[in-house]
Amino acid sequence: MREKVAVCEVGPRDGLQMAHEIMPTALKTRWIAAIAQAGVGEIEVGSFVPPKLVPQMADTEAIVKAALQQPGLRVMALVPNLRGAQAAYAAGAHGVGVPVSVSEGHSRSNTRKGTMEQVAEVRRIVEWVREQDRPMAIEPGCATAFGCAIDGVIPLEKVIETAVALAEAGVDAVALADTVGYGNPAQVRKMVRAVRAEIGDKLTKLHLHDTMGLGLANALAGLEEGIRSFDSALAGLGGCPFAPGASGNIVTEDLVFMLESMGFDTGIDLQRLIAARELLHEGVPAEPMYGQVPKAGIPKTYRARAPVHA
């Protein structure tokens, strides 16, 4: 048995929120289905935010309900506050991510709250969800943990303080997010060790961007430190509308190729994953599409894996 590594596709949320065009709901549903049928077991399908702020996410309720029809798929959504979490719960999402920026500047730009105010909002979400009949996972991310386009260098102590506060709020898991892609492998190793020393197995995931070209190197550093869950986006789409200079996420296709080539089990059929790019391009044809593996082609040395989902 090979060791499993989870890949969460965030393109439908993090990728499309920065797109200049709005992908039609029906096509977005087909795209998400194609990703799921390639074997991706978790997809962040949208965000429950005001449509006037992020119009690309206006159909998230419908998208969540459609995604729930995919067998075995864990359907996630991003929410900024309790109201968003309640909407995600009503739509049937299995879990929600909540952005909690370690950078005060980015926190106020993104959620109009300071860091600890946003932690308090997460605590409200936890308390509300625990009172409901159906469980829903709450998995916030420490955004801008590796640096910020607004505040610059973020002290490690502030990252630890934020992660500890989230763990104490009762969340199910915590992620470290390189929102603007400023991190480097040495920083990833140091931060993962330091945060894990304080919150243990609550630290589960890295959310990485490739702004400075170090995205996969940072993923490898996290992998070597025991991280077994990563966010990524098909074709490397993504960015944050409230973080100047943030570019795309690490490319799902390239991440899967690296992991599988190293002997890890993602459960993803790389050929089918690459084929899903066609639907993405159809929906947002003006957006650039990245990825070395799709560009070069899958080499003959690569051993194909059977997908998890039929």
Q: Is the pLDDT of residue 264 over 70?
A: yes
Residue 70 has pLDDT above 90, yes or no: yes
- Write the secondary structure of the chain as one string of H (helix), E (strand) and C (coil): CCCECEEEECHHHHHHHHCCCCCCHHHHHHHHHHHHHCCCCEEEEEECCCCCCCHHHCCHHHHHHHHCCCCCCEEEEECCCHHHHHHHHHHCCCEEECEEECCHHHHHHHHCCCHHHHHHHHHHHHHHHHCCCCCCEECCEEECCCCECCCECCCHHHHHHHHHHHHHCCCCCEEEEECCCCCCHHHHHHHHHHHHHHHHHHEEEEEEECCCCCHHHHHHHHHHCCCCEEEEEHHHCCCCCCCCCCCCECEHHHHHHHHHHCCCECCCCHHHHHHCHHHHHHHCCCCCCCCHHHHHCCCCCCCCCCCCCC
Instruction: Evaluate whether the domain defined by 6-296 bears CATH number 3.20.20.70.
Output: yes
Q: Place 241 in a pLDDT band, splitting at 50, 70 and 90.
A: low
Residue 1 pLDDT: 76
The model's pLDDT over 288-307, given as tens digits with 9 standing for 90+, comes to: 999 999 999 999 999 755 44
Active-site residue among 8, 142, 148, 240?
A: 240
Mean pLDDT, range 202-218, rounded to an integer: 97
Summarize the confidence of residues 36-58 as an average pLDDT: 96
pLDDT tens for each residue of 243-252:
555 568 999 9
**For this structure, is 240 an active site residue?**
yes
Domain boundaries, the chain: 6-296
Predicted local distance difference test score (pLDDT) of residue 307: 44
What is the per-residue pLDDT across 127-171, written as a single tens digit (0 to 9) for each?
999 999 999 999 999 999 999 999 999 999 999 999 999 999 999
